[in-house]
Amino acid sequence: MEWAVETKALRREFAPSRQTGKNATGEARGARPAPVVALAGVDLTIRKGELYGLLGPNGAGKTTLLKILTTLLYPTTGEARVAGLDVVRQAVDLRRRIALVSGGEYSGYGILTTRETLWMFGQFYGVPNKEARRRADELLEIVGLSDMAGARINRLSTGQRQRLNFARGFVSDPEIIFLDEPTLGLDVNAAREVRRYVRRWLAARDTRTVVLTTHYLLEADELCDRVSIIDRGRILATDSPMGLRGHVRTGRRVVVEVSQADGLGEALGALAGVTNLRASPQPEKNTTQWHFTLEQGSHIAQVLELLSRRGVIPVNLTTHDSSLEDVFVAIVGRALEDEA
């Protein structure tokens, strides 16, 4: 089977530069520190037609992996193939079939208009003039910049530049597109439009593949067919977002809101299967919210029985499955926003 992307024991080390000054204990630095391991042996396979996500905190190795897959960086050891082509030995042929979009601020050539910019990048991919212009106009419409088609880039806001950068990646109609944090810095509506477009683009042709890196859990959850959780250069788990939740017994989250709380906490805590209990007073409503986790969803019956026995009528009761964030914390051992 030809995978869209396949890596075997992919490893990448960076030799750090000699440090100057003094370290925390006041000793002079001088010796070259050990290499930084950005990828510590990554094995992954991505099917054609898949929308694949790489989820991890800053410094996890996501961008390094994407740079290798898009021929910008060589691996230290290991192999990687994209569209069946070796990223090192067949890079020239590979580049005709891929595109890369890096999120964050895009500088570009301030002197060109948005339409000219997209047309120009079309030229680098050999897109005929007329077709390049058509695609440019279409993409500007999609990212909401059609009224800025004649505006120079140096007049665009940061968000507009980022949307243009996103559009640039699609002008060549690649077989596989690598999106490195594509919604970074975009507002909610723009990010939603980007996600919607990615799904539509993928669905339009079954030979297309999208590889997305993100540290937005919602994005990975909402968008991806499969997600790999990566941290410190290693893939820790790979599955669909639903499947990942199943990997980890994180239970069911429950919130019970009651108008009186005398002794209720103690009683709830004593129930079997209730963990992570905490109270959240709501003085404006004169109520208390009790947050806890049930190891098994069926234990909700015990909670209801307890409330009934004590004559407590809940103002509100909600339950929901564990989120991807819960999965991430359970697998990685810390929250996404915590420092590595």
CB 244 within 8 A of CB 327: yes
Does residue number 82 form part of the binding site for another protein (CB under 8 A)? no
Does residue number 166 form part of the binding site for another protein (CB under 8 A)? no
- Of 119 and 292, CB closest to another protein: 119
333 Rama class: left (phi>0) / alpha (psi -120 to 50) / beta = left
Name the residue type at position 198.
V
Q: Which two tokens stand for residue 314?
A: 């809940």
* Cβ at position 158, least distance to another protein in Å: 10
Residue ranges of E strands in the chain:
5-14, 36-46, 51-55, 77-82, 85-86, 98-102, 176-180, 209-214, 226-231, 234-239, 252-258, 274-282, 287-294, 316-321
* Cβ at position 291, least distance to another protein in Å: 42
- Of 111 and 242, CB closest to another protein: 111
Q: Which two tokens stand for residue 265?
A: 């906490």
3-class SS of residue 227:
strand
Residues 9-68 touching another protein, rule: CB under 8 A, are: 12, 14-15, 67
In angstroms, the CA 10 to CA 68 distance is: 9
- Of 126 and 263, CB closest to another protein: 126
Q: How many residues bind another protein (CB under 8 A)?
A: 39
The correct pick among 60, 73, 82, 268 for binding another protein (CB under 8 A) is 73
Residues 232-261 touching another protein, rule: CB under 8 A, are: none
* Cβ at position 91, least distance to another protein in Å: 9
Across the chain, how many H-helices and E-strands are there? 11, 14
Does residue number 96 form part of the binding site for another protein (CB under 8 A)? yes
Mark 119-158 with x for binding to another protein (rule: CB under 8 A) and - for no binding: xxxxxxxxxx-----------------------x-x----
Residues lying near another protein in the complex (CB under 8 A) are found at: 12, 14-15, 67, 70-74, 92, 95-96, 98-100, 102, 105-112, 116, 119-128, 152, 154, 168, 172
